[in-house]
Amino acid sequence: MNEQQRQIEALIAEALAAGVTLYEKNGGLAFKQTAGFPPQLKQQVVEYKSEIIAYFQQQSRDVANSPPHIIPQPSAGKDLPLSFAQEGLWFIEQLQGSKQYYMPAEFLLRGELNIQAMRSTVQDVLQRHEILRAKFVKNEQDGQPQLQITDDISAPLEWLDASVVPEETRQAYITSHLEAHQNKPFDLAHDCLLRVLVVSDGDEHHLAFNMHHIVSDGASMALLAQEVEAGYCKHIGASYTPLATMQVQYSDFSQWQRAQLTPERIEAPLAQLKQQFSELAPLQSLPCDFVRPAVQSLTGKVYRQALDASLFAAISTQAKSLQLTPFMWLLNTFMLFIARLTQSQQVVVGTPEHGRHHPELTPLIGLFVNTLVMQAKLESDMPFSQWLQQQKDLNLAAFEYRDIPFDKVVEAVGAPRDLSHHPLVQILFTLETRDGRAFTLPDYRFKKCKNNRQTA
């Protein structure tokens, strides 16, 4: 694989991470999207349009040697395999619980809310996505987890009318119920792993969602918002954009992944990754004020700092001059910052990769994201621009292993499993691209509430 091909693949992967699936159609470039198309990303795609089309055309010529398409498989009444990512989260749940993998979101609406329409909307989402009706059960023979899909499940929406509560205690009532909803434990073997709570106070409504990461990821949360918008509009008789047709379900992906990533097929890439990471220190972390506890408390806080538009524009300009994506520039500069803090010549961080490499996966709610291990090597006498070029090669090489499940990499490298820290990587870097499109419903004023979780 040459450097240009790696760069094109990195750009396609960055588009996927933003919820945009690029593909070639009749000699031109087309795309599907779960949300909007970030302007900066669109500019890069336009700039490399001919190269992207050529890449897809070459992929089509090689289709005979490519893995088979994901095809629908019967799921009713069957014990189904988990995906590799789901399996990793299931084992974490058995070991120490998985509260850190809850995915809450809360919105404040002002207007007249039709609760029955919202309930029917949530039921539609459950019926559309099998994975939201899945139970994660243990096989009695070998103790391994399995999926069981059920149709006997009602919309997990709870509605509370706070207007009947005395005014002096009403806000405390609302706050306590929202916190209880977002912190209520999920039982993977018995619970629906999507929950919705509406707390109404007159024409003001608190709408709270919570999903477990084992059935969701960042792109899935955007899909959930999109489907709630469309479904609610349909049930109240308002105009809406029809949802994309579902060709497969998540369990089809899990079975396909298991068939493709057999031990024989991933043996060679795992051997290469083992050679690359086997000499890393087991703990790559920031300097701490206190001794790390023997068991993670998962207690943490959030520090927010925004990059203003002029600074990001300058970063993008320099990245373009070096033939880097803004993601590469920011990732590597972040790793350089970590190296300065830790006084280290080598840094590794994890970064989530979208994992939706097939167009039929675009409309699915589910856990597709995979963690890639990114490495930085520091040489004190190397100019910054030259170092970034060296890092670009390492970044592009890492994307070649994007299909290899992170837990398989951990096993191959022999990274120790320890309750005090995450294996192999303890620092994560994520670049979220926002297009300004907000979750909304007709005739409502919306506000997304800040997530004040104290979980790290």
Whether residues 33 and 170 share a domain: the answer is: no
Q: Which of the four pLDDT bands, split at 50, 70 and 90, describes residue 453?
A: low
Predicted pLDDT at 68: 65
Identify the domain containing residue 46 by its residue range. Answer: 1-66
- Give alpha helix (H) positions in 246-380: 250-260, 263-277, 309-321, 326-342
Given the structure tokens 């927010």, which residue do they identify? Answer: 304
Whether residues 180 and 142 share a domain: the answer is: yes
Cα–Cα dist 148/75, whole Å: 8
Tell me phi and psi for residue 352, to 5 degrees: -75, 140
For 133, which DSSP code?
G
When divided into structural domains, the chain yields a total of 2
- The enclosing domain of 123 has a CATH number of 3.30.559.10
Is residue 51, in this structure, part of any structural domain at all?
yes
Mean pLDDT of the 296-324 span: 85
Is residue 241, in this structure, part of any structural domain at all?
yes
Q: Give the model confidence (pLDDT) of 380-401 as tens digits.
A: 788 999 999 999 989 988 988 9
Q: Give the model confidence (pLDDT) of 413-448 as tens digits.
A: 887 777 777 888 889 998 876 655 567 787 776 677
Whether residues 103 and 174 share a domain: the answer is: yes
Q: Give the model confidence (pLDDT) of 12-64 as tens digits.
A: 878 877 778 888 888 888 888 766 788 888 888 888 888 888 888 877 765 44
Is the overall model pTM greater than 0.85, yes or no? no
- The enclosing domain of 19 has a CATH number of 1.10.10
Predicted pLDDT at 78: 83
Predicted pLDDT at 64: 45
Predicted pLDDT at 434: 64
Q: Give the model confidence (pLDDT) of 118-127 as tens digits.
A: 999 999 999 9
Between 303 and 237, name the one with better pLDDT.
237
Is residue 162, in this structure, part of any structural domain at all?
yes
What percentage of the chain reaches a pLDDT higher than 70? 92
Q: Tell me: pLDDT of 450 over 70.
A: no
Nearest to 402 by CA among 443, 369, 359, 445: 369
Is residue 52, in this structure, part of any structural domain at all?
yes
Q: Give the model confidence (pLDDT) of 128-140 as tens digits.
A: 999 999 999 998 8
Cα–Cα dist 257/62, whole Å: 20
Whether residues 150 and 186 share a domain: the answer is: yes
Is residue 324, in this structure, part of any structural domain at all?
no
Among 37, 66, 95, give the residue marking a domain's end.
66
| Positive/negative CA dihedral, 71, 251, 456, 274 | negative
Please state the three-class secondary structure of 374-418 as a single string. EEEECCCCCCHHHHHHHHHHHHHHHHCCCCCCHHHHHHHHCCCCE
Predicted pLDDT at 254: 96
Whether residues 91 and 45 share a domain: the answer is: no
Q: Which of the four pLDDT bands, split at 50, 70 and 90, describes residue 95?
A: confident
Mean pLDDT of the 102-122 span: 93
Plot region of 129 (φ>0 → left; ψ -120 to 50 → alpha; else → beta):
beta
Residue 93 in tokens: 């749940």
What percentage of the chain reaches a pLDDT higher than 90? 52
Instruction: Give me the chain's average pLDDT, please.
Output: 87
Is residue 97, in this structure, part of any structural domain at all?
yes
Whether residues 99 and 214 share a domain: the answer is: yes
